[in-house]
């Protein structure tokens, strides 16, 4: 857990004077939980802003998270696990202890032509959202790909539809994400001669 010294005296994202449920009261009574709750809200706002033009389901997913969180009632260990898992997912920070090999790819990445986000959804699935463009504006790529598996340290994202496969391969080299296209995305999810292939470095924010 990453609360650090800032947890002492932390306030959650909501007004504790209006806390009504066992979960809300437990969060208000515990500095660590309060810090985590505020960290979730901060990470959610940033990710929502970054994906505003590409992604519309994040608010609904957050509503579902609150149901998961509230199912813990006032049990602090359950709340800590649930809220920390959501915090790391929204902050795009690989969570320690997860056995899923896709987790190591989670993060924000940028290079000179665009950016990419690999994230873990609330349901445990993983996805790639990427945007790239030729500096003069001649082409733009908007790519969404579900990441189903990791083979030989390569994550495979499927950017196509059910009957038309457009795999995107992801590999990690140090702190950088390397993307390559099995089948050119130009003319499909990219403009003419467009591509998202390249090396993207971890970044604190995108675009």
What CATH code is carried by the domain that includes residue 137? Answer: 2.40.128
Q: Summarize pLDDT for 98-108 with one digit per residue, the tens.
A: 999 999 999 99
Looking at the predicted structure, is the pLDDT value of residue 51 above 50? Answer: yes
The pair of structure tokens assigned to 126 is 């993983």
Find the mean pLDDT for residues 150-157. Answer: 95
Q: How far apart are CA 158 and CA 177, in angstroms?
A: 17
Quick one: 54 and 81 in the same domain?
yes
Quick one: 111 and 192 in the same domain?
yes
Does some domain include residue 28? Answer: yes
Which comes out higher in pLDDT, residue 178 or 165?
Answer: 178
pLDDT at 10: 83
Q: For residue 145, what are the domain limits?
A: 101-202
Does some domain include residue 207? Answer: no
Quick one: 59 and 106 in the same domain?
no
**Cβ atoms of 179 and 190 closer than 8 Å:** no
* pLDDT above 90 coverage of the chain, percent: 88
Confidence tier at 129 by pLDDT (50, 70, 90): very high
Q: How far apart are CA 38 and CA 53, in angstroms?
A: 25
Find the mean pLDDT for residues 145-174. Answer: 93
Quick one: 21 and 74 in the same domain?
yes
Quick one: 166 and 74 in the same domain?
no
Domain boundary among 30, 65, 90: 90
Quick one: 158 and 72 in the same domain?
no
70, 131, 162 from 22: Cα distances, Å: 8, 42, 44
Quick one: 86 and 151 in the same domain?
no
How many domains are contained in the chain? 2
Return the SS3 of 97. Answer: coil
Looking at the predicted structure, is the pLDDT value of residue 3 above 90? Answer: no
Confidence tier at 54 by pLDDT (50, 70, 90): low
> Residue 106's closest CA among 96, 122, 88, 119?
119
Quick one: 80 and 134 in the same domain?
no
Confidence tier at 79 by pLDDT (50, 70, 90): very high
Work out the mean pLDDT of the chain and round it to a whole number. 93
91, 94, 105, 125 from 101: Cα distances, Å: 18, 10, 8, 12
Quick one: 19 and 105 in the same domain?
no
Quick one: 62 and 116 in the same domain?
no
Quick one: 124 and 170 in the same domain?
yes
Confidence tier at 161 by pLDDT (50, 70, 90): confident
Quick one: 42 and 118 in the same domain?
no
Q: How far apart are CA 57 and CA 54, in angstroms?
A: 10
Find the mean pLDDT for residues 26-37. Answer: 97
**CA-based torsion, 170, 118, 51, 207: positive or negative:** negative
99, 103, 169 from 94: Cα distances, Å: 11, 6, 19
Q: How far apart are CA 76 and CA 82, in angstroms?
A: 10
pLDDT at 162: 79
Does some domain include residue 96? Answer: no
pTM over 0.85: yes
Looking at the predicted structure, is the pLDDT value of residue 5 above 70? Answer: no
Which comes out higher in pLDDT, residue 9 or 20?
Answer: 20
């Amino acid at each position: 857990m990453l609360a650090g010294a800032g947890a002492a005296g932390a306030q959650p994202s909501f007004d504790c004077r209006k806390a009504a449920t066992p979960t809300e009261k437990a969060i208000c009574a515990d500095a660590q939980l309060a810090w985590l709750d505020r960290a979730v809200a901060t990470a959610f706002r940033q990710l929502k802003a970054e994906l505003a033009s590409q992604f519309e389901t994040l608010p609904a997913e957050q509503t579902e998270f609150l149901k998961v969180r509230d199912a813990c009632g006032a049990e602090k260990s359950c709340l800590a696990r649930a809220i920390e898992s959501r915090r790391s997912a929204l902050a795009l920070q690989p969570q320690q202890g997860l056995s899923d090999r896709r987790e190591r790819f989670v993060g924000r990445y940028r290079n000179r032509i665009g950016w990419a986000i690999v994230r873990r959804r609330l349901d445990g699935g993983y996805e790639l959202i990427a945007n790239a463009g030729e500096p003069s504006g001649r082409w733009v790529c908007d790519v969404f790909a579900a990441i189903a598996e990791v083979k030989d340290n390569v994550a495979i994202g499927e950017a196509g539809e059910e009957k038309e496969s457009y795999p995107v391969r992801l590999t990690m080299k140090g702190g950088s994400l390397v993307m390559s296209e099995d089948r050119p995305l130009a003319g499909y999810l990219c403009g003419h001669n467009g591509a998202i292939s390249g090396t993207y470095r971890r970044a604190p924010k995108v675009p």
